[in-house]
A and B are shown apart, each in its own frame.
Chain A
Amino acid sequence: MACEAWHAKLDLYVDGELGPAEARALAVHLRECAACAADALERVQMKRATAVAGKRYEPSVALRAKIAKQIAPRPRSAFSRAWTIIAIPALLVLIASVAVNSYVRRERTQRQRVYSELADLHVAALASATPVDVISTDRHTVKPWFQGRIPFTFNLPELQGTDFTLVGGRVTYLAQTPGAHLIYQLRKHEISVFIFQERESEVVASAPMNVLSFNVENWSQNGLHYFVLGDASTGDIEALSRLLKNAG
């Protein structure tokens, strides 16, 4: 399919409204077409900026109390009481189910937001003239470089006998929190490893998944949260994750 045809489907793609087959095909196209990939990324950024700006108004405590009082059950006639007995529990069940759905949705949204931000950091670093601030394939050079730059330390794996090469590292920020951004190379793929201190508000560890055509794996270990993200295959991302888990 030509770029123009895909272009018309980008809104549907970023809104998660494309069917699985078409979404997969578009993801393949995005890997090959820099212009469409940049356009998709820009649309995601615009969505995110709108979402942030849109969460603007908060109700007062007084309003909540007033409405809660107004809709609370009151003594009524036998008919009204019978109606209330049926309607109120049903409404509460529905509200509870909405609450659960909202929680699941919020959790998923939070994770997607973090992943999108990390994908941005990955792309921005690779597009930069200086992707890393410490250039070294030696983990004993890269790890000490972070001392005094970030408020924690971490272990890096021995890569001898593997296809992975350490390119270097830089300090990065996620939600105003400093962390380590390491770049590894595998054949022609560049893979980012992000390490942050674990926080309550952070995303929960999850199985490997695909975000904007990147494969991502994340987990928590020894008070740190690791994210491995790149365009390499799921198997390769998992292999690097295993090495990091064993080193940590």
Chain B
Amino acid sequence: MPLFDQLYNFAHWLAQDRAEAEDLVQETYVKALRGFSSFQAGTNFRAWMYRILRNSFLSSRTGLKATVAFDETDQEVAVQTDRATPENILLREADREMMQRALAELPVHFREILLLCEVEEMSYQEISETLTIPAGTVMSRLSRARKALRRILQKTIAGKP
């Protein structure tokens, strides 16, 4: 099961809970095997597996709570941030743990797109297939997710004693 470790990591980030993540991964493999006939040869297998996992999450109780009405345009205002603190200063201050806390603090639609892009190193096309959103939305959502992450890091560092 080559995607096993990656799918588990992604599931745990989404659910923020070990038991729920384990259930999600299990459900994903069972659904993949059962619904294998729906997989179209020549399309992206990895995106298909992640899509099953994500759909399972979205229909779970935690997923439903985490993704209450999300409007792409509304988020723009919320994540506006200045670039007064360059990343090199941010990153010097932000250790791995702080970065993990910031990622966990992000709304789930920002967290998942950052994980798919930075951790899974998916192309925009693959992300578009996984999240079933247009490529243009991938670009804009990624940009907003990065700004939101910066904002949380800035806030954390500013609040440090």
A contacts, CB < 8 Å to B? 11-12, 15-17, 38, 41-43, 45-47, 49-60, 63-64, 66-68, 70-71, 87, 90-91, 94-95, 97-99, 101-102, 105, 109
Please tell me if B1 contacts chain A, counting CB pairs below 8 Å. yes
**What are 25 of the A-B contact pairs (CB < 8 Å)?**
A11-B143, A15-B117, A16-B123, A42-B86, A45-B88, A45-B91, A47-B118, A49-B96, A50-B99, A50-B103, A53-B99, A54-B9, A54-B118, A56-B9, A57-B12, A59-B4, A59-B22, A64-B1, A67-B25, A70-B29, A87-B36, A95-B3, A98-B46, A101-B46, A109-B121
Establish whether residues B91 and A102, one from each chain, have CB atoms under 8 Å apart when the complex forms: no
Cβ contacts under 8 Å, A51 to chain B: 118-119, 121
Please tell me if B2 contacts chain A, counting CB pairs below 8 Å. yes
Q: How far is the CB of B43 from chain A (nearest CB, A)?
A: 11
Cβ contacts under 8 Å, B13 to chain A: 54, 56-57
Establish whether residues A17 and B123, one from each chain, have CB atoms under 8 Å apart when the complex forms: yes
* CB 8 Å contact bits of B95-134 with A (1 = contact, 0 = none): 0100110010000000000110111010110000000000
Please tell me if B30 contacts chain A, counting CB pairs below 8 Å. yes
Cβ contacts under 8 Å, B86 to chain A: 38, 42
Establish whether residues B30 and A53, one from each chain, have CB atoms under 8 Å apart when the complex forms: no
Q: How far is the CB of A37 from chain B (nearest CB, A)?
A: 13
Q: How far is the CB of A14 from chain B (nearest CB, A)?
A: 10
B contacts, CB < 8 Å to A? 1-5, 8-9, 12-13, 18, 21-22, 25-26, 29-30, 32-33, 36-37, 39, 45-46, 86-88, 90-91, 94, 96, 99-100, 103, 114-115, 117-119, 121, 123-124, 139, 142-143, 146, 149-150
Establish whether residues A53 and B100, one from each chain, have CB atoms under 8 Å apart when the complex forms: yes
In the bound complex, how far is the Cα of B21 from the Cα of A42, in angstroms?
A: 33
In the bound complex, how far is the Cα of B142 from the Cα of A16, in angstroms?
A: 14
Establish whether residues A54 and B12, one from each chain, have CB atoms under 8 Å apart when the complex forms: no
| Shortest 7 CB-CB contacts between residues of A and residues of B | A42-B87, A54-B119, A57-B12, A53-B99, A59-B8, A99-B2, A50-B118
> Of all chain B residues, which has the CB nearest A46?
B87
Q: How far is the CB of B27 from chain A (nearest CB, A)?
A: 10
Given contacts A57-B8, A91-B33, contact A49 B94 (CB under 8 A): yes
Q: How far is the CB of B87 from chain A (nearest CB, A)?
A: 4
> Of all chain A residues, which has the CB nearest B115?
A54
In the bound complex, how far is the Cα of B142 from the Cα of A41, in angstroms?
A: 18
Q: How far is the CB of B32 from chain A (nearest CB, A)?
A: 8
Establish whether residues B36 and A90, one from each chain, have CB atoms under 8 Å apart when the complex forms: yes
Establish whether residues A64 and B4, one from each chain, have CB atoms under 8 Å apart when the complex forms: yes
Q: How far is the CB of A40 from chain B (nearest CB, A)?
A: 11
Q: How far is the CB of B137 from chain A (nearest CB, A)?
A: 14
> Of all chain B residues, which has the CB nearest A42?
B87
Establish whether residues B37 and A57, one from each chain, have CB atoms under 8 Å apart when the complex forms: no
Cβ contacts under 8 Å, A91 to chain B: 32-33, 36
Cβ contacts under 8 Å, B5 to chain A: 58-59
Cβ contacts under 8 Å, A58 to chain B: 5, 8-9
In the bound complex, how far is the Cα of B99 from the Cα of A45, in angstroms?
A: 13
Q: Name the residue among B99, B114, B149 with the largest chain A CB count within 10 angstroms.
A: B99
